Amino acid sequence: MKTTAILLAAGQGTRMKSDLPKVLHPLAGKPMIWHTMEAIKQSATEKPIVVVGYGADEVINYLGESAQTVLQAEQLGTGHAVMQAESALKGKTDLVIVAMSDMPLMRSETWARLVETQKNNAGAVSMLTVIADDPRGFGRVIRNADGAVESIVEEYVATSEQLQVKELNVGGYCFNAEWLWDALRRIQKNPHKGEYYLTDAIELAARDGLPVQAVVMNDAEETIGINTRAHLAEAEAVMRRRINLQFMLDGVTMIDPASVYIEIGATIGRDTVIMPNTFIHGKTEIGEGAVIGPNSIIRDSKIGNRCKVLSSVMESAVMEDDADVGPFARLRKGAHLGKHVHMGNFGEVKDSYLAEGVKMGHFSYIGNAQIGANTNIGAGTITCNYDGKKKHATEIGANVFLGSDTMLVAPVKLGDGARTGAGSVVTKDVAADTLAVGMPARAVKRSK
């Protein structure tokens, strides 16, 4: 059966008080519409259609080729929004899933249950409901004496008796496509709001004598919709618990899961320990047996096995196996630490490669440099790589010893085994196995 999802994403989300379209607000590192599309894609067989409106260009630009878009120029309700997809879908699909893009916590298993229910339903529609004490503004599911669903009553028009109903309309549907297009034309404009509500289609199906199947959800957290920043924070907490739980089940230790923030897309190997107040963003890869944190921020970086990152910040950087940094170290874009590299507190590396076994003391800065194996970088050493207009490279060989507070004025090269005295300002190349001292540094003798 051809099954196509329609995602409603045209609303402005005024209560978010933001210039950014609501569906593009991030949740665990991904826009909320991404979560909805990801959850539905296993149940749909065709490319989804996204109904856009406010901020249409931004939403379309984000979606790219992942979805077809149709424009709802006027915000005339959910029923009107679904109608915008008719010309793209009529005669081309058997089932239509309708989802709200501001409900990103819905699981793929839930959508699969809904679609499977409709495949076995002789009626026109199946819908998602939940039993909950907190109605959260949802419409009430009204059933007849036989227990069959006969309508949805929105909260603002519900009677006091109807408000006592605990079964709530979640806002997820699966329709028989052929029936849907005709039903949409029969929906009347709501006299209170002046809009066409998709929820009225449920009553139309019941009047047509077509059974409406209700799939009652077990997890009320899935039904959290986002209309304010407070709702966004609530959903973020739920998503964070899900992510962290899965990592722990896969063999990652978290000392305090509530204080660990991991975005979707990160991978972490077994026996790695994540300490409190650690943030792991983007496409970060962490190997096995590592210790990350506490108080660390990792973004789009690759960390090898048995590495240690103590109270430090990494961005688009690489640490090979058994390297360690911190506390209070910073690896900026292009930093690459080889195996067994040690980088002390308050150090910073950018666009540089430190080969295996390099020891980098505290309060040092290495930029645009290539450092050979087993070199010792004394505390306070700086590569002076920027002359105000251009950045220049520093090349340091293997087994070099740089005295504390050495200034390396790029472009400059130091050969294997070279040494500098404390406080040296190196402006010229230093040959292999040579000691350079002073300001500016001068070669005084062979270092061996």
> Where residue 115 sits, what CATH number does that domain have?
3.90.550.10
> For position 441, what pLDDT does the model report?
82
Same structural domain for residues 207 and 244?
A: no
Question: What confidence tier does 77 reach under pLDDT thresholds 50, 70, 90?
Answer: very high
> For position 442, what pLDDT does the model report?
84
Q: Alpha-carbon distance 221 to 182, whole Å?
A: 34
pLDDT greater than 70 at residue 448 = no
Q: Alpha-carbon distance 3 to 223, whole Å?
A: 23
Sign, Cα dihedral of 328, 333, 334, 338: positive
Residue 169's closest CA among 195, 191, 136? 136
Domain boundary residue, one of 223, 252, 270: 223
Same structural domain for residues 209 and 235?
A: no
Same structural domain for residues 274 and 418?
A: yes
- Average pLDDT, integer, range 373-399: 96
Same structural domain for residues 183 and 262?
A: no
Same structural domain for residues 239 and 368?
A: yes
Domain boundary residue, one of 203, 223, 243: 223
Q: Alpha-carbon distance 211 to 279, whole Å?
A: 49
Same structural domain for residues 172 and 255?
A: no
In the beta sheet, which residues pair with residue 342? 324, 359
- Average pLDDT, integer, range 216-227: 94
Question: What confidence tier does 334 reach under pLDDT thresholds 50, 70, 90?
Answer: very high
> For position 316, what pLDDT does the model report?
98
Average pLDDT value for the chain: 96
Q: Which residues are catalytic?
A: 362
pLDDT cut 90: percent of the chain above it: 92
> For position 192, what pLDDT does the model report?
82
Same structural domain for residues 54 and 139?
A: yes
Residue 45: how many other CB atoms lie within 10 Å: 15
pLDDT cut 70: percent of the chain above it: 99
Per residue in 289-301, pLDDT (tens digit) is 999 999 999 999 9
Same structural domain for residues 191 and 237?
A: no
pLDDT greater than 90 at residue 89 = yes
Domain boundary residue, one of 223, 254, 288: 223
Same structural domain for residues 303 and 329?
A: yes
DSSP sequence for 384-444: E-B-SS-B--EEE-TT-EEPTT-EEESSEEE-TT-EE-TT-EE-S-B-TTEEEEETTEEEE
Question: What confidence tier does 447 reach under pLDDT thresholds 50, 70, 90?
Answer: low
> For position 415, what pLDDT does the model report?
97
Structure tokens at 312: 């430090």
Per residue in 186-220, pLDDT (tens digit) is 999 988 889 999 999 999 999 999 999 999 999 99
Same structural domain for residues 176 and 276?
A: no
Q: Alpha-carbon distance 361 to 377, whole Å?
A: 6
Question: What confidence tier does 71 reach under pLDDT thresholds 50, 70, 90?
Answer: very high
Residue 120's closest CA among 103, 99, 95? 95
Domain that residue 359 falls in: 229-446
Same structural domain for residues 158 and 304?
A: no
Total domains, the chain: 2
Query: Global pTM?
Result: 0.92
pLDDT greater than 80 at residue 446 = no
Q: Alpha-carbon distance 445 to 438, whole Å?
A: 13
Mapping DSSP to helix (H, G, I), strand (E, B) and coil, where does residue 116 land?
Answer: helix
Question: Does a cis peptide bond (omega within 30 degrees of 0) precede residue 211?
Answer: no
Same structural domain for residues 145 and 45?
A: yes
What's the CATH code of the domain at 394? 2.160.10.10
